[in-house]
Amino acid sequence: MNTPGLRLLGAALVALLGIWAGLKAYSVRRAHEIPAVAVPAGVASAPNRSDGAASEAAVPHPLVPARLPDFSLRDLTGKSISISAWSGKSLVVNFWATWCAPCRREIPLLKTISAEWAGRDLKVVGIAVDYPDKVKDFAGRFKIDYPVLIGDQDALDVAAKFGMASPAFPFTVFTDRRGEVVALFLGELHRPQVDFILSEVQDLNQDRIQLPEARRAIADGLQALAEKQAG
């Protein structure tokens, strides 16, 4: 039986389903843009309440690997590049997407860090989890001059190697010259955090401290910076 009442009910259900799908898609995208939460290497860390309600629901709890995993992705020209191309250097590996506002905001800082460390023992590498044409256009407009690797599912697979099976963007991995993962930073980077982490990485590279000490110092130092900023 096909009555006007049933047709109206069916239309209402379709409309509700459409609204739910739209809200769901919006919430998924918003859940992937989070404030900064420092995660020491090898430690699953939950966000603090002061980081905001959105981050409390969205931030994953990664178990960060001890060493930089091996992987390859395509660069802006379509050539497959292995992360081992920068073996022997400390790395700042930044995972991002063109639609992510915090990712876009931190690009100038990453460019500055790349320029300041040019020809030295550190390399900034961006990993864009996005469509290649969008990344190429974005990189051209923003004049990104450090290496950018691109992927979709393969880039998500790389993120999963760092314990980020459901990645929130941006997140950044810091390694020493031996390929050991020193820290993973969730959220938008700012100059004080980057300078502090890299100072510990340099001490580690020059054998002034050991890896466990560097990881503890970074975790404590970033917490102190966050408290200072909040206060």
For 146-200, the pLDDT digits (tens) are 999 999 999 999 999 999 988 889 999 999 999 999 999 999 999 999 999 999 9
Predicted confidence at residue 12, as pLDDT, reads 33
Predicted confidence at residue 42, as pLDDT, reads 42
The DSSP call for residue 120 is T
Radius of gyration of the chain (CA): 20
Same domain? 147 vs 157:
yes
Task: Give the chain's mean pLDDT.
Answer: 80
Name the nearest CA neighbour of 190 among 109, 121, 74. 109
Q: How confident is the model at residue 231 (pLDDT cuts 50, 70, 90)?
A: confident
Same domain? 94 vs 203:
yes
Same domain? 46 vs 18:
no
Predicted confidence at residue 49, as pLDDT, reads 33
Task: Give the SS3 label for residue 72.
Answer: strand
Q: How confident is the model at residue 217 (pLDDT cuts 50, 70, 90)?
A: very high
Asked if residue 95 has pLDDT above 70, the reply is yes
Burial of residue 141, with CB atoms counted within 10 A of its CB: 0-12 exposed, 13-18 middle, 19 or more buried? exposed
Tokens 């503890």 locate to 216
Predicted confidence at residue 53, as pLDDT, reads 32
What residue numbers bound the domain in which 2 lies?
1-31
Predicted confidence at residue 165, as pLDDT, reads 86
Asked if residue 28 has pLDDT above 70, the reply is no
The percentage of residues in the chain with a pLDDT greater than 70, rounded to a whole number, is 73
Return the CATH number at 122. 3.40.30.10
Same domain? 191 vs 226:
yes
Q: How confident is the model at residue 22 (pLDDT cuts 50, 70, 90)?
A: very low
Predicted confidence at residue 228, as pLDDT, reads 86
Tell me phi and psi for residue 86, to 5 degrees: -110, 30
> Could you tell me where the DSSP H helices lie in the chain?
4-31, 53-58, 101-116, 132-141, 153-161, 191-205, 211-230
Question: What is the average per-residue pLDDT within 73-88?
Answer: 97
Same domain? 55 vs 153:
yes
Predicted confidence at residue 39, as pLDDT, reads 52
Name the nearest CA neighbour of 40 among 160, 206, 220. 220
Same domain? 22 vs 107:
no
Name the nearest CA neighbour of 174 among 88, 111, 91. 91
Which of 121-125, 133-137, 225-229 shows the lowest per-residue confidence on average (mean pLDDT)?
A: 225-229
Predicted confidence at residue 167, as pLDDT, reads 81
For the chain, how many structural domains are there in total?
A: 2
Q: Which two tokens stand for residue 46?
A: 């939950």
Same domain? 20 vs 88:
no
The percentage of residues in the chain with a pLDDT greater than 90, rounded to a whole number, is 65
Same domain? 201 vs 216:
yes
Same domain? 18 vs 44:
no
The answer to whether the CB of 74 falls within 8 A of the CB of 81 is yes
Same domain? 57 vs 25:
no
Confirm whether pTM is higher than 0.85: no
Same domain? 176 vs 66:
yes
Cα 181–Cα 219–Cα 44 angle in degrees, nearest 5: 65
